[in-house]
Every structure is written in structure tokens, then in C-alpha cells.
Structure 1
Amino acid sequence: MIICETIADVRQKISEFKRKGKRIGFVPTMGNLHEGHLSLISASKEECDITIVSVFVNPTQFSSGEGFEKYPRTLESDQEKLKDLKIDILFLPDENQMYGSSSQTLVLVGGTISNSLEGCSRPEHFNGVTLIVTKLFNIIAPDVAFFGQKDAQQARIIYQFVKDLSIQVVLKVLPIVRESDGLAMSSRNTLLSKENRAIAPSMYEGMLEGAKAIRDGETDPMQVLAIITEHLICFKEIEIDYVAIIDPVTFEEVEEINKDVLIIGAIFLDNIRLIDNYYVDRN
């Protein structure tokens, strides 16, 4: 495994692989790697000749008070996992490499897909995501980039700006990897207390109840949301940020469930924010 800490170094190494006609796969991460990340890396290794992983805790996607300083950083164990998977390049830039002291550019995606849900709760978040992913795509120039479905809105936004800006990369969005009790794997799960970790799968359980109602014929999204909310409010520790039933392409809330939908939500457990989603196929 080659470790690159500068843009110039990683570009030079990648150019050597590209001259040999190698297909480059890329998995961007913020570290604290779990099985969800590792599934993306394994998919890249299976599909591509060369797999590159970046670890960079991106400050621009955290608003004030969102815990940038508290975000779990486990670089030593991350490197061990990546060595075991035999990735080709680990890109480890610092903030100065990625932004310097005079960065003034933003990459903005407008419309409902970025201004709703996470966009309402975390107004600056997607601006930071689109900027860092654009920069990483420009640096790495991957043939294929791998993302997880857990961050469904983020993946949809990345798809949109890749399409709009004619960036030459194939995007692969892979299914959510879950713990044995259904909790979506997330780097933030390690911040939960033992008691709150036991409660955390409740959002997924509520979504399953809502999905069952849809499959049983319920077409009123307000009725389905009531089912999910009723499950969540059983736990006084849970603070609901949002729960919605949306069109999986436009990310607009549906008025009637007459096609496939995405149940999506975010909750707080002792100030730890967890997100999840569940795709419901009407057929």
C-alpha cells in the first residue's frame, strides 16, 4: 500500500497506473472505517485494477457546533484495515493540501435535492460535500467512484453535479450495510453510549413498519409517517429531526404513495445524529 500525503505525489502515482491502462476505483472516506466502508473497497477491488482510498475529515461539511473536533479519528486502525484489504493507494491529505489559505470556490447544487431534508437541517453541509468531492475527483480522476446508500441524499447530489458538470466518472451506490440488529453502520455509532446504542435501531424498525403498511396497500404518506413516528416516540431518548416519504429521484415529498418511494429520516440520541433510509418497491 502506497501512502500519499500531497496532491502532487498522488497524481504522480496515479499517472503511472494510467499510463499502463489501469482502471482506477476510488472510495472517499472520512476515516473511522467500518464494514460499510470496507464493502465499498471490496467492490472497487473486484471491479477495478487499482483501488484508491482517501481519508480526510472535511471541515467544510460541518456547521458550527456539529462536532468536527469530536468526529472519530482512528487512523492507525484504519491503515491496518486497508493494508489487510491490500488497497493500492491511501491518500492522506491535510487541510492545507485540500484548501490552502485562500480557497474561495463553491460547488452548489440547487433545487429540492439539496435544499430539503439534510439540506434544511444542515444548511452548509452539502456545499462542503460537493466541494470536497469535486476536488477529489479532480485530483484522483477515477474511472469509478463508490458510495453508500446510507447517505442517499448525498449520493443523489453527487450524481447530479457529475452529470451537470460532465465529469467522466461512473458512480456506484451500494446497499446499506447494517449491524445484526438492523442499525445502519456509521462512524458516529461509536460515539453512542451503551444505553443509546441499544435504542438506535428503532429508526430502522419504524421504517420497516412503515414499509409494511405501504406493501399492505396504504397510500397515504401521512398515515405511514404516523406509524413510524408512533414507534419512535416510544423512546424518550430519541429526538426526531425529520422523517419523510419521498420520490427517490427528485427527493420531493409525495402526496400519494402510488409508486416506489424512499422512507428517509434523521434522529438525535444524546446529540449524536443518526440517519437512515429504506427503499420501498411497490411491486
Structure 2
Amino acid sequence: MNVVTTIAQLREIVLHAKKQQQTIGLVPTMGYLHEGHLTLATNARQENDLVVMSIFVNPTQFGPNEDFESYPRDLARDKKLAESVGVDVIFAPSVEEMYPQDGGIRVRAGRQAKLLCGASRPGHFDGVLQVVAKLFNLVQPDRAYFGQKDAQQVAIIQTMVRDYNFPIELRIVPIVREEDGLAKSSRNVYLTPIDRSQAPAIQQALQLAKRELQETEDVEKALALATKLIEYNTDGKIDYLSILAYPDLTEVTAETDQILLAVAVYIGKTRLIDNEIFSLKGAMAHV
């Protein structure tokens, strides 16, 4: 496995792969890999000739109250994990390599970035789109792999790819879960034993709301049932619980096909997110 740190090195590898007519899969990460990242890489390995994983803690997606400097970094550990699932190339540039100049041109996420997680993180998704667009241009992948757990991020990237005609297939990999349904996350280690025992109620609430939507098409009732379940079974504080059309993240209408059911809950001091994406196949006639 190659570990490259410069754009020139990466471009040489990409050019060689293109000349060989190899397919390229890209797995963008900020490093400190966990099982979710490895699942993305495993999927990429199965579907491509060359797998490139980026490991870059992107400063432009951190807000003023988010500590970019303290974000965990361990390239040696990440290298071993990436190699174990068949990654061919790790691209691990410095900030100076990725952003050597600033010409003032910006990629702006639109309306989708102002709700859900974006409501409390202004500018975050602008930074995400900036780095993802750069990686798409540098790697020129046939397929790029993202986790469903960050559904809002995925929706915004899907919109950029669609609206700006990136010749890339986005592969959205389902959420990896614990046996009791809790979405796997590096943040789960911060849960106390009591917190951990309550956390599965989040997924249970989403499943309840999903069933209600499928059976009655009643958005308000589905939200109310999910809210009640979380409040009754946890000491948590709901940050948001929303039902939106996916991927545009607009209000659900009779024409809506794909549904995003998304939640963020503070369990103790830990903010947990989860979601379900599913189709009602045009059954929202009474919304």
C-alpha cells in the first residue's frame, strides 16, 4: 500500500490507473478510522480496481468553537487498518498542500445546510463541499463512498454531484450498528453505562416513526410517537427530530418518494445522530 502526501504523487498514481483503464474508488475520511470507515473501504475494494482513501483533517469545515487542533490523528494506526481491508493508496496531505493559495472562490452549500446538524454549524457544509470537490478533481474516481449515518452531508454532496454534473457514482453505505441497534460511532465511548443502556431507544423511535408513516402517512403523528418514546425511555434531550424529502431536504408532499427520518439526541453529554432513509413509493397522498 502506498502512502502519498503530495498532489503530484497522487496525480501520478491516478494517471497510471487511467492509462490502464482501471476503475477508481474513493473513500474520503478525516482519519482516526473506525468500523464505519472500514466498511466503506471494503465496499470500495469489492467494486474497483484501485482504492484510494484520503486522510485529511479539513480545517475549512471546523467552526470557531470547534477545536481543529484537538481532532484525533494517528496515521500509523490508520495505515494498518486501511491496509487490512485492501486500500491501495492513502492520500494524507498537509493543510498547506491542500490549500496553498486562497483566491477567494468558495463553494457554498445552500438551503439544505441550514437545518438539522447545519443549524448549529454555520459554514460547516461549505467546508465539506470545498474539500470533497477538490478530492473529486484530484482522484477522478468512478465511485465515491460515503456512510448513510451522515445523511445530511450525503444529501448535500449528492446535490452538488447532480447539479454540477460530476461524472461520479456515489455509493451510500448503510449504517453499521451494534447488536441492539445503536449506530456505531466513535462518540459511543463517551457514554456512561446508564447512557449506553438508554441509547438504543433512538433507533427504536425511528423504527416506530417509520412504521407509522408507512401505515398512516401521518407525519405529525409519526414525529409525536418517536418523541414520546425517546422522552419516556431516556434522560436525553432531543436536538432535532425531522421527517423530510430526500435528498432535497424539503417538506414532505404527495409527490415525495424518498423519506429521510433524522434525529439527534444528547444522551448525557454525548450527541448521537441516527437516521432512516426509505421510500413510500408515492403513498403520501394525505400529507
Common fold, TM-score beyond 0.5? yes
In structure 2, the partner of 1:84 is 84
Q: What is the CA-CA distance between 1:167 and the residue it aligns to?
A: 1.9
In structure 2, the partner of 1:128 is 127
Q: What is the CA-CA distance between 1:257 and the residue it aligns to?
A: 10
Amino acid at match of 2:203: Y
RMSD: 2.3
Residue identity (%)? 39
In structure 2, the partner of 1:146 is 145
Q: What is the CA-CA distance between 1:190 and the residue it aligns to?
A: 3.4
Q: Secondary structure at the match of 1:277?
A: strand
Mapping 1:36-115, distance limit 5 Å? 36-100=36-100, 102=102, 104-111=104-111, 113-115=112-114
- CA distance in 1 between partners of 2:256 and 2:156 (Å): 24
Does the 8 Å contact 2:40/2:147 carry over to 1? yes
Q: What is the CA-CA distance between 1:243 and the residue it aligns to?
A: 0.4
TM-score of the aligned structures, taking structure 2 as reference length: 0.88
Amino acid at match of 1:207: L
Q: What is the CA-CA distance between 1:67 and the residue it aligns to?
A: 4.2
Amino acid at match of 1:232: I
Q: Secondary structure at the match of 1:245?
A: strand
Cα deviation digits, residues 173-211 of structure 1 (max 9, x gap):
121111212121223333444443333322211111212
- CA distance in 1 between partners of 2:49 and 2:108 (Å): 32
In structure 1, the partner of 2:169 is 170
Cα deviation digits, residues 113-138 of structure 1 (max 9, x gap):
23222222222111111001011111
Q: What is the CA-CA distance between 1:270 and the residue it aligns to?
A: 4.1
Does the 8 Å contact 2:24/2:142 carry over to 1? yes
Q: Secondary structure at the match of 1:90?
A: strand
Q: Secondary structure at the match of 2:144?
A: strand
* Bigger shift: residues 269-278 or 253-262: 253-262
Say how many residue pairs are matched.
281
Query: Is 2:257 the partner of 1:262?
Result: no
Q: Secondary structure at the match of 1:161?
A: helix
- CA distance in 1 between partners of 2:67 and 2:202 (Å): 22
Over 3 Å counting, the alpha-carbon distance change for 1:167 and 1:259 in structure 2 is closer
Cα deviation digits, residues 210-238 of structure 1 (max 9, x gap):
122223x3332121111111122235642
Q: Secondary structure at the match of 2:213?
A: helix
Unaligned runs of 5+ residues in structure 2 are: 282-287
In structure 2, the partner of 1:226 is 224
- CA distance in 1 between partners of 2:270 and 2:70 (Å): 11
- CA distance in 1 between partners of 2:71 and 2:191 (Å): 12
TM-score of the aligned structures, taking structure 1 as reference length: 0.90
